[in-house]
Structure 1
Amino acid sequence: MIHNTAIIEPGARIGNNVKIGPFAYIHKNVIIGDNAEIGSYSELGIPTGLAKDSDLLIGSNSIIRSHSVLYQGSRIGSYFRTGHYVTVRENSQIGEHVQLGSRTDVQGDCIIGRYTKCHADVHIGKLSNVGNYVWLFPEVLLTNDPTPPSEELLGVTINDFTVVASKVLLMPGVTIGRDCLVGAASLIKENVPDSKVVTGNPAKVICDVNILRHHSNPKQKAYPWRRRFHRGYSESDIQSWIEEFS
């Protein structure tokens, strides 16, 4: 169902059973998969000279909520979910089942892996590389300019299964390892090895993640989190995690 106030330019390719809300604007270079929902006042496929490809591809079964803005040149997998007022700029590669909370800003030339979840007000700076199954909680900021303003950009890398708590600031070029936990309000200035807990300003490694216990059940190890939290993930993923920690 396409609302009669929506604007769809000739050349846009809209899949089956797609819903497009009031006053949405779909540019000619947009490809939308089946069963997607586009919220009111959203604009998809904004032209920019920075795009390496003219098309914007949005996978099937995606939900893009109102007032969101997506530029041309990005590839977004199926089951994509946004909150409201989300921005995704050009040349971004986003995997399946990714969630971007309201007002999240993904700058150009970013990579976000499958099943990664961002809460509200996350800023993912240009050239960031965020892995699979990563959690970014509210107001996490990935920076990229070591001497602002400059033309030298160093993207942040966050590896698979890492959790970054609220209000964390990651400085340009840092790498966070796999299965890490970054404490709230931390300033990350140096690389973090795999499976570590870091916190503070500046952040320091304080222990291995597998030392931490669940706050309501001290008998249960809290991390890596996939040993205890499975909601919203595929049956094959859950089974592999159960086998991994059995």
Structure 2
Amino acid sequence: MDRNQAKHREIDYMPWITKAEIEIHEQEQIQQRLAETYSCSFGKNCFVSPQAIFFPDAFQMGDRSYIAGGAIVRNTSLSMGADCSINSYAVVTGKVSMGDGVRIASHASIYGFNHGYETTHQPIFKQPCTSKGIHIGDDVWIGANVVILDGVRIGSHSIIAAGAIVTKDVPDYSIVGGNPAKVIRSRLNNEAPLNSDKQPIEKKLQNFGNKVKEQLDPLLRHYLVSTPNETFFQDRPGFKRTARAYCDAVEIAALFNVLPPGWTKEELIVKLQSFQDSSTGLLPDPWSPPDATLYEPHLLSDHLSRYHLLAVGYALEVLGASLLHPIHVVENMSTEQLYTKLESLPWDNNAWSCGDWIDSYATGLYLNLKHFESKKRPDDLFGWLQTHVSRTSGLWGLPTDAETWLQPVNGFYRLTRATYAQFDIPLPYPDKTIDTVLAHSRDQQFFRFDHLNACNVLDVVHPLWLCLKQTDYRKEEIKEWAKRHLEKVLDFWVDERGFSFQLVQQESTGLQGTEMWLSIIFLLADVCGISQHVGYRPKGVHRIEAPLSLSSIQS
């Protein structure tokens, strides 16, 4: 055997050793072939040995993670965070999710499914399998020959001793061992000095909310522009003017029940109402007007004209007012026209834009019902939605090769925000939705912490929050995801400037990013059951109350 062959064998079974360019190139080819064959996504600097047995159903791998030669990954919906490892001859099968820094030693077996055995009148192998799934938190060491059974949650920072058989949940910071595995001791017992300066998340939230309140006035003044002729808000200094900037300023101030500086309530109401076109009821942006040759207001063709139904409509409600005119184009759209439009939307490759259209249309219905005594109910819209939702994913629309579930998940948020959430209607398949959204939340293409933006996080946490109103399915896993993101997002606040839409780009703070992340923080905290410590509550577009129950509207 020559030197190159020997080195190649070392890399397959010890992937942590330094890799030469030839192996890096080989990995790129291997991962590309796997992505073409299976539903896979890979982070940066990953390694999958060609000697591994790899037959996944769905798979996401975080940065710097690896699967060594001889490992068996089969019939699994597996998501791995960053810096995870599955070593030689380990077996992973069924529904399994890992946080960051999970290390699985050789010959461990992780079974995220179980054989049915409810009846004695049929052989076990003919009875249906079940899958509750296994969730492994961050920074977990799973020793050699460990067996973890379906339905178990392994808490973060835990150690599973070699040979343990884990049949029950493991608390955070635990060392467990034996058959069946039991807690031997907590890792925190000897670490009080090391962690004594770490604040509980509840205290961090309270301090954060107080800080935002104290800095509210200088923050909003930073985005306020005064000239001899007028005063207005900009999303960012020097940025193009938008109608939305006024609305974001109103909603940020309303978190603490105050008005943005430089304006009276009456002045703000008049300004926001002035954006509406009385003939259509829509609100085109005066600084980015729609192309007159393409504009079809009766079909809500212009994105900004539609979105301002939300931004301006809700901001006016925060101020105790409303638009001056009904949304005529929504009121006048027949069921036949509605269904024709819905069928024509690009559900197979741009489900977000489909959700965006429905969000605006349904908000138009809501505003007409709430403020203009309309009798037009959204029954036809809900009828179409109920018959077009996927029973397997719980969403509308299809994943794409380039973005996997991003489009349907983000579209689900926009669609359900204005329909099921706004009119207080139960979701069709909340458990299926949770499965799909959680799988998407592990996609390192969108959920690396150096790559987070407000839309992608909001479009995961709000659907999960909404689903938890109906079910406790995978609740602990959802809470752990929310807490992990909550801990990190709080650190990106910029004093007297707020948040950037792209979280790590702290030099680009703005009103939109600030308003969205403040709402996201509340939702993350609410999922964890600790939102009372934040000290504010979202208003306007991101309010969490259902403003109009469909059951209260007469037919």
Sort the TM-score into its range (normalised by shorter chain): 0.5 to 0.7
5+ long unaligned stretches in structure 2: 1-20, 117-124, 195-449, 451-555
Question: In structure 2, how many angstroms separate the alpha carbons of the residues matched to 1:190 and 1:184?
Answer: 16
Change (3 A) 1:36 1:154: farther
Letter in 1 for 2:112: N
Letter in 1 for 2:70: R
The match for 2:175 among 197, 211, 214 is 197
Change (3 A) 1:212 1:120: farther
Question: In structure 2, how many angstroms separate the alpha carbons of the residues matched to 1:104 and 1:125?
Answer: 11
Question: In structure 2, how many angstroms separate the alpha carbons of the residues matched to 1:170 and 1:121?
Answer: 15
- Normalized per residue, the structure richer in strand is 1
The structure whose RCO (Cα within 8 Å, separation 6+) is larger is 2
Change (3 A) 1:39 1:103: farther
Contact 1:140 1:166 in 2 (8 A): yes
SS at match of 1:110: strand
Letter in 2 for 1:85: Q
Cα deviation digits, residues 115-137 of structure 1 (max 9, x gap): 11221111111210111101111
The structural deviation recorded for 1:212 is 7.0
The structural deviation recorded for 1:95 is 0.8
Change (3 A) 1:146 1:91: closer
Contact 1:117 1:136 in 2 (8 A): yes
Q: In structure 2, what is the equivalent of residue 111 of structure 1?
A: 79
The structural deviation recorded for 1:203 is 0.5
Question: In structure 2, how many angstroms separate the alpha carbons of the residues matched to 1:181 and 1:134?
Answer: 10
Give the TM-score normalised by structure 2.
0.27
The match for 2:153 among 172, 175, 178 is 175
Contact 1:95 1:115 in 2 (8 A): yes
Q: In structure 2, what is the equivalent of residue 143 of structure 1?
A: 111
Q: In structure 2, what is the equivalent of residue 65 of structure 1?
A: none
Q: In structure 1, what is the equivalent of residue 101 of structure 2?
A: 133
Q: In structure 1, what is the equivalent of residue 26 of structure 2?
A: 37
The correspondence of residues 1-246 of structure 1 with structure 2, limited to 5 A, is: 36-38=25-27, 45=33, 56=35, 71-86=37-52, 87-107=54-74, 108-148=76-116, 149=125, 150-211=128-189
The structural deviation recorded for 1:81 is 1.4
Change (3 A) 1:195 1:75: same
Question: In structure 2, how many angstroms separate the alpha carbons of the residues matched to 1:182 and 1:113?
Answer: 18
Question: In structure 1, how many angstroms separate the alpha carbons of the residues matched to 2:190 and 2:106?
Answer: 22
Contact 1:84 1:103 in 2 (8 A): no
Letter in 2 for 1:117: S
Question: In structure 2, how many angstroms separate the alpha carbons of the residues matched to 1:154 and 1:85?
Answer: 29
Q: In structure 2, what is the equivalent of residue 242 of structure 1?
A: none
Question: In structure 2, how many angstroms separate the alpha carbons of the residues matched to 1:171 and 1:160?
Answer: 18
Change (3 A) 1:183 1:72: same
The structural deviation recorded for 1:101 is 1.4
Give 1 or 2 for the bigger CA radius of gyration.
2
Question: In structure 1, how many angstroms separate the alpha carbons of the residues matched to 2:136 and 2:185?
Answer: 19
- Normalized per residue, the structure richer in helix is 2
SS at match of 1:143: strand
- Equivalent pairs, count: 161
Question: In structure 2, how many angstroms separate the alpha carbons of the residues matched to 1:134 and 1:43?
Answer: 21
Give the TM-score normalised by structure 1.
0.58
Cα deviation digits, residues 159-192 of structure 1 (max 9, x gap): 0001110000001110000000110000000001
Please give the root-mean-square deviation of Cα atoms over the aligned residues, in Å.
2.9
- Report the more deviating stretch, 178-187 or 139-148: 139-148
Contact 1:44 1:72 in 2 (8 A): no
Q: In structure 2, what is the equivalent of residue 24 of structure 1?
A: none
Question: In structure 1, how many angstroms separate the alpha carbons of the residues matched to 2:115 and 2:27?
Answer: 38
The structural deviation recorded for 1:144 is 2.4
